[in-house]
Structure formats: structure tokens, C-alpha cells
Structure 1
Amino acid sequence: MPAVSLHVLAEKSLHQQINPELLAYCPTMDLLAMGAKDGHLNLFRLGGQRVFSYVPKGYSLAIQKLKWKPNGQLLAVAWSDQITRLISSDSGKVVHQLDFSAEGGSHVTCIGWGTNLTDLKAGMGGETKTNRHPLEEVLGEAAKRHMRDLESDLPRELALLDIESSLPKLSILPSAGKDEDIFSSRPSVDAIFHVNDPTAEKSVDVMLLGFDNGTIHIRLYDSFDLGSFEMKKALPSLQICRPVLHASNSCTSTHALLVDTATASNSSQGLYIVPLDLKFISGMGQYLSFIASKSTQLQNLLRYIDQVRVQLQLEWKSSQDLPSRFVRNINETLAEKSQTNIIQAMYHLAVTGNCYPEMKEWLVEILTERGHKRWEKATTSGYENIRKLIHQCLLPALERCNLLVSRLRGFSRYQPSNALFGLSTSELDGVLDTVHCLTLVAHTVLRQAGIELQQFSAFSTWLRHEIDVQASDPSISSADDAVEKDTIIDYARLLEYIQGAMTVSRIGGFFQPHTSHNSQIDVSKKEMLPNAVIAERFSEYNKGIGTEKGLPTFEEITGKLGQQFQHVFKRISATGQRGVVFGRPILLASKYQPTGLDMRMNYEKTDSGEAFVVYVAIEVKITGHSMLQVYRVTLDIEGGVSSTRAVEVSTIKFAAGSIKDAGFVDDEFIMVLFNNEDISHLLMIPYKGQTTHPFRLRYRTVPQETKAEECLASMDSIDFTREAITNCSSHTFDGTDKFSPVRIEINGRKGRRAVCVLDRDLLRYKVFDLDSGGVDELEAAGSEYENEDMMSE
């Protein structure tokens, strides 16, 4: 029977060769991420339109791994500079930069990204929908069951009450021209701060990165750092190991890793499945998402506040550079010829109308009207931008920060013991004090900037007037006009500006680095000055009695705030780290050059009841023959701790040809890219243990005391005949269009299953629709041959 052909959704020819290992299909949208061999990251729509292209600035780097977030909003890309960048699929900007240079592993070998329900009982209640429905539907059904069974709990409801959505949105910041500049566009700011995810209170995002030295790094909600874990310390039997594949299921806190123990000097390798129990998910339960998400929001707010601080310093510096050069030049001339300075000269001119000759020459020939306009523009825009940044950006961010810290503080007081969550009420009190101090500084600078702006406005009017007067001829009528303009000048504010902000602004000290500022705030100490002392000094400052010296600067307070936050986050991370446990390694193969192709975790019915099952597809080569092994590992999970119930294996042997690639489509089918005599096939093979499909894989138990490769040598494999290949093919490439595939990337999203097939020239790809009728017709063909022995044992 002829093979069924799949419908082609898209095809494209590229200008750059891509790395076949760096191809990722977005799980929620029709987007393809591709890593080129020159280090460029490209994102394409199915129609071939380029969404964006990204490469780190100033570097020549190679991409090591890339992985989509389950909701498709972010793409994790690991570059050879030991920095993993999380890139937004909407804006193409780097949302987070994860620097792992201190980890000791130079190469990222695995990126895993999963979403776990925090209320596992609600997620497991009723009929399991983990694999047959989208994750959002699973979370929604779990929430409904949870709410039906939930008793009234006022403290819990108050803790989980969404308040941030009622606050105004944070404003975007000016672009700084850096890779980590993520607050300069509305989509980026909204994606970080203003995404209303209804599932956020029922689930937690878990990101896992594996390095070539056996280190595992775990993060929650993209940016909350849980910490790093060395597998060789937890598993003494695996002293040389590197994770290569990751699998997880939303309804269990246990993840699975495929670990490779190969070395450069030893070509023989062993492949192990290592269960990873994240017990803190089940231990913290429904409150984990609250604590982790609020901590992540605080981390993002801290980055936002620090970026505002940098922008304030830049605005202040740019507003003072040009005026300071003008003042410095005239000061040198006045000191040399008249033994005075610009303050005395301008004060003398404003009060008496008498202008020093050097002053007149400077006004008429050096400063001129053009210089005055530049001075006015630099200073006015500087003050206005500072006021705008504080009023529209800094103060709203501090309000959000105060609210989030207050919620964590209230939550810590509600809990009789914080051993489970790692929160400290006294530490959060200290954070609130620092936030209040920063708010006080912001209000003070905002008020003083408005005063100095009014003073400068009077000064600018007078300065323009004096330029006209000194440049005019007293004998003509223009001088009389200049004298008439003198009546509109506010001399009180003018004199205040000359004596004060023109040379020494009262807000300038707040923007100085703490190393060059005579402050009594030591950021290395645990506590800042008491609030009463700071309030007293600000009261004296506002009355004009004191100066900004002795008061904290923006950099000092944000630095102290960052230290306090890191201490709070560290305590939470340390609590979570105690709940990370590696399970007993399960050896799959150590001979015949095994290669891990794909990995998947399902929740399904087994002979001994429902359980979580890990499937691993491995290619092995024996005496020139290409064989596909699918391991089926059944796990017992109780209280967040896993144990191995059974290990089974099914082996497919092809009479001729080679396996190019394989991947799991969904919880029913595995797709195999098989090549034979220049003809390639996309084979759709049912792999589930309980399926009744006639072409299903048939598993044999591997005794726990027997190594997998010994079991393989002693058992018969399933021989795929040519007729079986023909009837399991969903698409055939006969080479008529010179397209010879070498790599497949599958999107198993319900209602939009598709596969991207990459040509061997690495310059062309095609995308096929798996729901175009091919699988249904394949099943119909299977029914026709149900009574025939197409796969002989």
C-alpha cells in the first residue's frame, strides 16, 4: 500500500547553514528558532518571514543549546561565553542574562524547561488530562477541582489576592544600547511586569541547565535562582557525567534526566536515567508559586530601579558637562586677570549692572547666543528628564516594591514557623526601611530639582538679556529695548541660582558614586542608619541648614537594597535546595555507541495501575545495523520521592538503511526519520505500552540485576520489513526534488501537530502538517493489515 503524503505547510531556503542540533519549534506558536553556524540566532514564521535575528554585540560566539519555554514566550539560548540569554519571542530583546562563568563548566549540554502544578492532588484528581490536553486546560481543571474542595481560609485568600494588577503600569526607560536593555519597549515591560497569567497561582515554572562537568542549575520563574547541584557528589557512581536530555510532567514534581558518561579518551559510554525529585514543590504546596513569583517580581523590580538610577546619573552628568566647561573657562580667565570668579562677577553684574571686561568678552565672543541655547537646552532637559524619571518611573516602582515586600512580610508573620519557606520578618522589615529611605531621597530630589529648574529659568532669561545688552551699542535704540526686558527678570531666583546650583547643586551629591561622596552610609554593614537619624538629616536639608553630605546617595541605597534582597532570596533558595534529591541512576546502555534521541514523561495506565512513565528513544549501532531502542521506565512517586517500579525495552531492527533522527510526537506516537537507498521515510510508530495499534512496540522487562545491553543481546528484536516500513510511513522523500532530510523537529501541540524537516545541505527545510490526515489514514491502513504479521518477533 502506498505511503500517505503529508501536507506541506511551509518550505524555505536559507542563506546561512544552520546547526542541525540547534533547531527548535515553538510549542504554542508557529515559530521556528534556528541557530546558524556563525553564532546568529534566527526566528522565522512558517511562511518564511524572519521575526528577528540576534547575536551578542561585540562577540564572535557559538550557540551551544536552545530551548523554548512551555508557553512560548521566551527562548533560552546558551552561548559559548558561558552566558545563557532568555530572549522574548515578542520583542526579540534579552529579558534575562544568566552568567554561569563561575560554574566551572564551559559547555551547556542540556536545557530543560517545564511547568509543575503546585497543588499536585488537585492536578491528579479525576481523569488525567496531562498528555491529551494543553497545559492551560490541565491547570484550569485542577483549579476548579481545588476550589470545589477548598475550605474557607481567609489568610490564604488575602495572601493570594492580586493587588498589583490595580496599580498603574510602569513606564518604559530610555534605551541604553546594551544587550540587557529590556525596559526600553512597552512589550518587554508588559511581558515582565504586567502579564496576567491565571495559572500563575497554580503552577511554577522550572528551568534546568546541565553542564558538561555534571553540574545542574535550577531556576524558578525564569530568574529566581534556586542554585547549582553537582551530580557526582550526590551520585558517587557517576563521577564523569553530563546531562543530555530532560523530561518532566506537569502533574509530578519529579523530573528525569538522561545522563551520558562518555569522555573524550573513552569512546564507550553509558546512558543513565537519573530521576530528579524536587520535593520543595510538594512540600511548599500552593504557597510555592506565591513566594517564587513575588520573589521574581522583586528581582525584576530591583533591576528596573537600578536601571532608573543609572539613567538618572547619565541625565545629571549630561546636563552638567557643557555648563561646567563654560564656567571653568571663564573662571580661569577671571582668576588670572581680575582675581575673582564667575560667581562674584555675575553677582556683581546682576546687582550693579557693571560688567567686567573679561566677563563682557566671554558673553559676547565666546558664549554668544548659540552657546546660551546649548546651555539652556542641556540644563533644562536634564532637570526635566530627572523629574520625569523619578515621577513616572522610580516612585511607581518603589510603590510596587513596597507592596510586594509588605505581602511577603505579612506572609512571614502569618506562618508560625518560616523553616519551610525561609522567610525572615526582621530581614523584610530592613528591606522596607531601605525602600522608605530610597523613597525619601526620590521625593527630596524631585522637590529640589523643581526649585533649581525655576531658578535656572530666571538665570537663563537674565543671561540672554545680558548677552544682548553687552553686544549692543548704547547709542542706538536697541539698548533701550534691552533695558525694558530687564523688568521681567526674577532677580531673587537669579541670585539664588548664581550662588548655588550654577556651580554646586544641592541634588548633585545624590547622583555621585559612593566612593567619591563623603557619606556616612556603609553599604558593607548589615544595617543602615536609623530612620530617625536619616529623617532628621533630611529635615535639616530641606530647611537649608544641612547639605547632601552625610545623606545616602541613589547608588548607595540601591546597592544596600540589592544586598538585602540577595540575602532574602538566598534564604529562600537554601530552603528549596534541601528539597532537591537525585534518585538512583538507571543504566540503559553502555555498549554499541548509544545516542540519546528524545525523551518524554507521561502519566498513563500500566499493568499495575496508573503511574508516571519515562520513555527514552536511543539509537544503537551493531555491526553496521542501525537499531532503535525505546526504553520504558515506570516510576513510583510517593510524597515527592521517586522509586523505580520497572524497566522495559523495545528494540526495532531495520534490515537495511540508517536512522537519521527520532522524536516523540505526543503520548501515542514516536516519529522516526529513516533512510534506505536514498529514500527517506517519516515513520509514525505507536510506542505507548497500553495501545492496541497493530504496529505498536512490544516491551520486554529488563530484570533489575541484568544490564540493559545484556538483555538486548539475549532477546530478539522487532524486524521492520520493507512492507512494514511502507505501511508505517506518513511521508516519503524519494529524492526527486533533491531533498534529503537529516533532522526533524516536532511540535505535538493538540490541533496543530507539525514536523520541521531539515535537508542535509542545512540550507533548506520543510514543515509538514501531521494532522492533515496522514496519521488517520495510517491507522486505517493498520486496521487493514491487523490480521497480518507485519512485525515479526
Structure 2
Amino acid sequence: MEHNDFASLAVLQLPSPCRLLASACCPDKDLVVLVSRLGGRDKMSLWKMQGSKKWEIDVGTDDRATEGIAGLAWSASGQTIAVAHDPPRITLHSVQDGRMERSLPIISPLPSEQKPIRIRGLWWFPGKQDISMDSIPDIFKRNDTTTGSALSILKVLPLLDHLREGDQKLTATDLFAFQGTQVKSLPQPSTPGVISEWPSLIPDPSLASIGTPSQTEDPSGNGGKDLLEEVQNTEDKNSILAAIDDMGNTYCFLDGSYYLGSFGSALGLPTSTLFKHPDQPLFLMHPQLSLDDTLATGIRPMSIELPLLTTAKVRDFAKLSSAARELMWYLLRVVKDMHDLWFGSDTVSGAREIGPKWVSSLETKLKDSFGQEEPDVILELTCLLATGNSSDGLGDFFGSSEQMTERAFQKWDSSLTNALVKLRDFSTAKLIPALQRVHIILEEIRGWSYLPHFVLFELDLDEVNGCLASARRGIFIATWLASKASQELGSFKHFLAFLKSEAATANITAERITPGYDILEVNNYLMCGLVTSEVDSWFTGPLPQFHLESLGVPGHDQALDSVLQQAQIALQDPSQTAWKPTITSAQFSHLDRNLNALIQELASRCQRVFAQASQAAARSAVTSTDGGAIPPQVVACRPASEATDRPLVRQRIIGDKRDKNEGFLQYLAIRMSSELRTFLCLTRAPYGKYAAGVPLHVDVALLECSAVGYHGEQAVELDVLDADFFDDEYVVIIYNVKNNNGPMFIATVNYRDLEYRQLQSEGYVNGPARKEMMAFVVQRWNEGHLPSANIPIKRCRQLAACKNGPVSLAMNGRIGRRVVCVLDGSGATMEILDIEGDEEMEAEDEAEMESLDA
């Protein structure tokens, strides 16, 4: 007898064995994620519920054979997929094409721990959206920015020029493979570690007063922000991405990006479940202990509160940290571009190389053609400059060498001029403004360090002052570089005019050029620009550590009244403002000025300041284990790595409509066995933060694994292979008829309408573990004090894809979706079923998926 109460959307024959995680279904789209493993590396693919594959990516970033996907979670907007890996890290992927948007490192709170940690679970809890009840509109559009703060100052400053990213190289696979069929390999991350480990919200360059490509392409004034990105940022705001490792440490990220720190459970006990209150920063979990080859789980949860998240301090600091990260990443790229302009890179030759190459070619000419063993090119050119007479070798080189043609001069002129002009412009238009913006942010951070209510942020005043000093030092060095680049450009122009004049003199057929150069400028370039340039000092050498006060620059802590007083004294004393015929200039040639090293050091110091302060929310954690969350008789035990007997336990927490205080109910579905029967036990209990001594009432509905009606009028025993909660009313079970090699079935059971019996409080409720409660339930049933019933199957369907063996379930019980994915034990076949089967809804879903493809 066939049972087809549900519509089958698709049966997928997968090309390779796959894994189906319980959280694989997208919350608001008909999409599902599958994980496959090939060559010791995991691949992640996104499939439509109708059976077509959208994309597949290789989530490995290196050759570590142990790497694999340990968990998966969806953002509230459904636009981002969070993936937990082993070794521990979290990557965020776009649902559009699977590209990695960001990588979040997992930093163990115990770095000296010898045992490597592993992620056991990943959750992404939606945030509470603040609804403004103010009738007066925010006409100034402050966007929660305090007037007078550093961010408000940055908001009114001119936008820094956008830095163009390097174009992604296309491979033959990208060019010739059919779209959507090839496996995309994620590119190696080019972001340096100091930036990738910097705590930050979703990158927003406008927060740091940095322009974006859309703002230059869209002059209308709205910044050209994509509507999808705005919706995503709005829906994911205040959300919490949480990961738990096998040592019981919980790692939290605000908006799924900004690291809030980690907090641990008592005794380092792991947990497989985590619940967050939708309106409060309250986490509830059930630590697990390994006892007698089974997992002992407390009935009452352990609660952890993060009270600092109820204030605006965390988000305000997160914005400052995000703006500082964008600015430092901007500075690092600008300095790298300047270095590549001057010294070159792996793909582009630098302007600095042209002069030494020209000197080398002249030396080769003098050695090979005129027999000079150790020619001194600078001396030869200096003699020519001073006397106008050249040696035979120098005259021959000027008259016949390819390096002395007009084309060579134009290339040399354009390359060096372009480099020096960009060094000057980058210093004045990019480096200095960006450093000034960093200084503004650090000034506010220093002010926070003096306030007592920011003590949890652990702001190191000395470290902040060191960052401020480095930023001021960078502004001084960048200004110096702009001046030096202009000076060297002028000297180079005179030197090039000198070369052109001498080349024309040496070539009798060429038109003679009237000398238009300064002999002193030419000599200056010969000594300090042709072979060794002073500009090199801005990219080589040790870290600059001089103090601006030693150079005559007033200290930053000088008060305004003292400055005005000094000005009045100077005006009253004519000798201080009189003309001095002899003015001694300060000598700065001995100072270190490696701008590259300075920016690297500034980035490292700032990252340490913000990384330390970002964990303030976790430092405010208040842990409560009242009510027996930890089994007292086994607290001395340590959690085992693996348990041999893991019963099927599923949990769902829903709102309790009967509770005026908007409490919650915890439902558990537990498959357990006695000597005679197999049961599916459903329990119901109030859920929340408990105080010691408050009794906990547990209601139980005991279902025997048998059914009547779908497989005959008589009760038929069933083997329940898997089960999980579908929504707030139904639980989905996968079963087959016991002692029958026939097909598998999927069915729904309404667990809200079951007849629950309250257990009498005799120690099991306030006892340590769920297994004791289950043992008590079986005892009460054997004694005849607790009735049992058959499983009241509401609807049922025979599975076409799964015949025997274990199965994996993933489902989406959201209204308008209502789908269940069932993967067979081999991982080769998956069936997708529509629990409601509404034709109009299916048409709307197909139209939505077509718009998503477009």
C-alpha cells in the first residue's frame, strides 16, 4: 500500500557521496547545502530544491588533509553561509556564488593547551531589531552616531580615494567550462594576518571616510549602495554567530563578524546544544559528561549572561574598530603600492631600477670596448659636467648607445616622473589624511581609557599613546617624503636635460640643444639620485623611533593657554621676531624614515589594542549553574572524546503562550529502549534561567514505536531511524516496519496535541542527568503508573530514495517553505519533499529562484 501524503520535489542522484547537516536548509529560500569530500578535502555545493546545482566550491585553503567542515549556519537574511572548519576557523560565504567573504579565526583562550580544539556546533541567532518609537524623524541621518565623536568627524570629512583591487586571473576552466558546473577553488587570501585577525563588523569603507567604486560611478548622491546589501545589513544587525568547541568554550561574533571573545562552561564540559534568548544576551546550554559509556546531560540548563551587550558601548567600539581596520588596511595597501612603484614587484619593474641599469650598461661599455678594469661612471660624468670634456668611452656611449636615444629618454622620463609624482601625491592625498583619521580614532580611544565604565575593555593607555606617537611620526615622515620626491624630481629633470644636451653634442647629425639645466642640481642627482637615492630610505632601514619633540615640534599635550602665552611673549619681545641673517637648518639625514616598517608596526600595535578590547563582552559574562546543571556525582569525571552509546535526542525551544512573562518551553524527543519495547519519548518543561530551590515540572508523553492505520488495522511495530522537530507543532520521523526489509517512510506527528503527564518530583527532575529521568519514565511505565500510546502519525509518505540503512535529515519548517531533505546512508541519493504541497506556493518559489539566478 502506497502512502503519498507529501509531494516529492526532486530525487537527486549525487555525483559523489555527500553529507547533509541538520542546518543545511536555507531559512528563507528553497536552497540546501551539501558537503562532499574528495582527496581529503571538503567541497561545498548549493542545490535548489527542484534538483539543480547552483555552484560548488572547494573550501580548503591549503593541503591539510585533516581539514573538514564541522558545522554550518545561515544568517538571518539568508545571504551568507557560515562554515566551521577543522582545524578551527569560520568562513563566511556568499549565497550568490559561494565566494569567501571573510575568514574568522578561532583563538583558543588557553593557548598552552596541548590538545587541539575542535568545533562541535555552530549557530547564528538573529538579532533584535530596534524599532524607533520617536515621532520626530532623524532628518540628520546620524545612523546611531554620537555627535562630536570620532565617527561623526570622519563622516563629514572628504572621502579618501578608492584603491583599485587587482583583477582576478581567469583560468582555462573558468573560460571554457559550462557555467555552474565547474568546482571553484577559493583564492588564497591576500589579506595579511594583522588585518584578518582584526575585530571588525561587516566591512564598510564609508565608515572610515573611504570612497567606494559605486560612489565614483554614481554621482547622484546616494552612494550607489546596493539594495540587497542594505537589506542584508539590516536583517543581520545585532545577530550573534556562536561556535562551541569540544572544551566547552563558546566563541561569539556580533553581526556574524565582530569577535566578542569567548566564555567557557564549568570544568570545560562540551555541549551539543545552545540557545539564546531572542531579546536578551542570555545563553542557555547543557554541558555533557561521559559516564559509563553514555553521555550524561543535565536537565536544567546552565545560563550565561553577557550584560555588556545590553549597552551601546560594544557596538560603538565595534564601529571604531571597524573604521580603524579599514584605514589601516588602506594604509598598508597604499604603502605597498608606493613600494612597488619605486622598487617594483614580481610582475612590474620599478622606476628605481632604470638609473642603476643605465650606469651598469655604461660600465659594461667602458670595460668591454675601452679596457677600463674598474670604471667610475660617476667620476666620468662629474668631469664631463665640470669641464665639458668627455673621455673616448663616454663620448662613444653618448653617441651610439641605445640608452641615449630619444625613445630611451622618454621612457626614463615618463617612468621616473610618474613614480615620483605618485609618491608625492600618495603621501599628501592618501597617507597623511588616512593617518590623521587614525589619529582621530585613537584620540577617542585614549579618552575612553580614562573612563571607569570602560574598565572591562582593558584599554592600555601606554599602548594607545604609543600608537598615537607612531601615527604622528607617520604624518611627519609622509610629509617629508612628499617634499623629497618633489626635490628629486626637479634634480632628475635637470640631469635628463644634461644627458640630452651631451647626447646631442656627441651626435653631430642631431640638432644641438641649448643647455637648460642647473649644474648644481645635476651634480646633486649624480651623487644622491642616480645610483643610490634618498627616497630608498623611506622603504628600507630600521623602524623609525625618533620623537617629534626632539625635532622642535611642540608636544601634543601642550595646553592652549600655554601656547597663547608663548605667542604673547614672542610678540612683546622684538628680538624673537627680528630678521636673522644666519639661520641654522636642522639636520634630519641621520633619522630613520622607513615608512613601510612604521605602518606595519602601527597596524600591529593598533590590532593588539582593539583585539584586547573587543573581548570586553565576554569578560562581563555571568555564569550560573543553579538548579543542577552539572551532575554533582560525576563532576570529577572528564568528558571522553567519544561515547559508545549516543541515544537519539532532539531539542526544540518555543515560546510558551500560557506564560504571561513570555517564557519558553523545551521539548525533547528521545528514542529509548527497555528490555521489552522501544519508545519515542516526548518531554515538555519550562525553559529559562533558574534559581536554586525552584522546582522544575516535566511533562512526558510516552509513545511506543508502533502505529495503527497506515500499515493495517493492527498495531505494527516500527524502527524509528531518525527524528527531528519540524516546527512548533510537528516532529518528523523516518521509520520502516520492524522485521521487514521493505521501504522507508517519512511521517509527521503533532507533538503539541499529545496527552502529557506530569512526573512527580522524586529526585529525577532535580537530578543530574536526562538518562536518570528516562530510566524513571521506563520504571513508571513498567509499574503501570504511566500510560503509553502508539505513535499518532498525522501524514505519511513512502520514500523513493532511501531503502535501508541510516539516513540524514535537514528541514525548514518556516511558513512558506515547509521542506524536508532526506539523504540515504551511502550519501549518493537525496529526496526532497514538500510537506505542504501548495501549488501556488510552489509557483511563487520557482519565480523567486528564477529572479535569484538572474
Q: Tell whether the structures are fold-level matches, with TM greater than 0.5.
A: yes
**Are residue 546 (structure 1) and residue 599 (structure 2) matched?**
no
The corresponding residue for 1:98 is 105
- Asked whether the 8 Å contact 2:359–2:531 carries over to 1, the reply is no
Q: Which moved more, 1:174-183 or 1:602-611?
A: 174-183
**Are residue 341 (structure 1) and residue 376 (structure 2) matched?**
yes
Secondary structure of the equivalent of 1:243? coil
Alignment of 1:713-752 (within 5 A): 713-716=778-781, 721=790, 724-725=792-793, 727-729=794-796, 731-735=797-801, 742-752=807-817
Question: 2:116 & 2:608 partners in 1: Cα distance?
Answer: 25
> Structure 2: where are the runs of 5+ without partners?
169-186, 207-228, 345-349, 556-583, 635-642, 707-716, 842-854
Tell me: CA distance 1:80–1:116, structure 2 relative to 1, closer, same or farther (3 Å).
closer
The corresponding residue for 1:581 is 623
The correspondence for 1:680, drawn from 725, 744, 767, is 744
Question: 1:592 & 1:625 partners in 2: Cα distance?
Answer: 21
- Asked whether the 8 Å contact 1:594–1:619 carries over to 2, the reply is no
Letter of the 1:19 partner, please give it: R
Q: Which moved more, 1:424-433 or 1:49-58?
A: 424-433
Alignment of 1:448-463 (within 5 A): 448-449=484-485, 451-452=487-488, 456=492
**Per-residue deviation, 1:739:** 10
**Are residue 168 (structure 1) and residue 197 (structure 2) matched?**
no
The corresponding residue for 2:559 is none
The corresponding residue for 1:570 is 612
Tell me: CA distance 1:373–1:426, structure 2 relative to 1, closer, same or farther (3 Å).
same
**Per-residue deviation, 1:760:** 3.4
Question: 2:598 & 2:505 partners in 1: Cα distance?
Answer: 46
TM-align CA RMSD: 5.2
Tell me: CA distance 1:63–1:580, structure 2 relative to 1, closer, same or farther (3 Å).
farther
The correspondence for 2:726, drawn from 661, 665, 682, is 665
Letter of the 1:270 partner, please give it: A
**Are residue 757 (structure 1) and residue 822 (structure 2) matched?**
yes
Secondary structure of the equivalent of 1:251? coil
Question: 1:110 & 1:445 partners in 2: Cα distance?
Answer: 52
Secondary structure of the equivalent of 2:320? helix
Tell me: CA distance 1:160–1:381, structure 2 relative to 1, closer, same or farther (3 Å).
closer
> Structure 1: where are the runs of 5+ without partners?
118-137, 522-528, 777-793
- Cα-to-partner distance string for 1:194-218 (whole Å, 9 max, x where unaligned): 5667987996343333222343334
Alignment of 1:749-788 (within 5 A): 749-770=814-835, 772-773=837-838
Tell me: CA distance 1:55–1:267, structure 2 relative to 1, closer, same or farther (3 Å).
same
Tell me: CA distance 1:455–1:675, structure 2 relative to 1, closer, same or farther (3 Å).
farther
Question: 2:756 & 2:816 partners in 1: Cα distance?
Answer: 25
- Cα-to-partner distance string for 1:604-637 (whole Å, 9 max, x where unaligned): 2346853134445444455697654455453444
**Per-residue deviation, 1:112:** 3.3
Question: 2:17 & 2:457 partners in 1: Cα distance?
Answer: 48
Letter of the 2:621 partner, please give it: G
- Asked whether the 8 Å contact 2:248–2:264 carries over to 1, the reply is yes
Q: Which moved more, 1:43-52 or 1:427-436?
A: 427-436
Question: 2:749 & 2:585 partners in 1: Cα distance?
Answer: 81
The corresponding residue for 1:15 is 15
**Are residue 208 (structure 1) and residue 242 (structure 2) matched?**
yes
TM-score (normalised: structure 1):
0.72
**Are residue 139 (structure 1) and residue 167 (structure 2) matched?**
no
The corresponding residue for 1:510 is 538
The correspondence for 1:180, drawn from 186, 189, 198, is 189
- Cα-to-partner distance string for 1:657-703 (whole Å, 9 max, x where unaligned): 4444444334443333334454333333344xxx4x4x577775752
Letter of the 2:35 partner, please give it: G
Secondary structure of the equivalent of 1:204? coil
Question: 1:573 & 1:520 partners in 2: Cα distance?
Answer: 30
How many residue pairs were aligned?
A: 707
**Per-residue deviation, 1:139:** 1.3
Letter of the 1:742 partner, please give it: V
**Per-residue deviation, 1:98:** 0.5
The corresponding residue for 1:704 is 766
Question: 2:430 & 2:203 partners in 1: Cα distance?
Answer: 17
Tell me: CA distance 1:682–1:720, structure 2 relative to 1, closer, same or farther (3 Å).
farther
Q: Which moved more, 1:456-465 or 1:78-87?
A: 456-465
Secondary structure of the equivalent of 1:33? strand
- Cα-to-partner distance string for 1:212-244 (whole Å, 9 max, x where unaligned): 23433344444544444443xxx24xx6x3232
- Asked whether the 8 Å contact 1:600–1:615 carries over to 2, the reply is yes
Letter of the 1:66 partner, please give it: G
Question: 2:676 & 2:497 partners in 1: Cα distance?
Answer: 89
Letter of the 2:608 partner, please give it: Q
Structure ID, larger Rg: 2
The corresponding residue for 1:76 is 82
Question: 2:676 & 2:525 partners in 1: Cα distance?
Answer: 88
Tell me: CA distance 1:362–1:189, structure 2 relative to 1, closer, same or farther (3 Å).
farther
TM-score (normalised: structure 2):
0.67
Tell me: CA distance 1:750–1:562, structure 2 relative to 1, closer, same or farther (3 Å).
farther
The corresponding residue for 1:67 is 72
Letter of the 2:747 partner, please give it: L
The corresponding residue for 1:419 is 455
**Per-residue deviation, 1:421:** 5.2
The correspondence for 1:326, drawn from 337, 357, 363, is 357
- Cα-to-partner distance string for 1:534-592 (whole Å, 9 max, x where unaligned): 8489xxxx989423733463323442453244235424535641424253563799999
The corresponding residue for 1:44 is 46
- Asked whether the 8 Å contact 1:76–1:87 carries over to 2, the reply is yes
- Cα-to-partner distance string for 1:301-322 (whole Å, 9 max, x where unaligned): 4445445444544444312674
The corresponding residue for 2:510 is 480
The corresponding residue for 1:112 is 122
- Cα-to-partner distance string for 1:328-361 (whole Å, 9 max, x where unaligned): 7458757993755343434445666655555567
Question: 1:507 & 1:767 partners in 2: Cα distance?
Answer: 65
Question: 2:683 & 2:11 partners in 1: Cα distance?
Answer: 34
Secondary structure of the equivalent of 1:419? helix
- Cα-to-partner distance string for 1:274-307 (whole Å, 9 max, x where unaligned): 8464433357523332233433443454445445
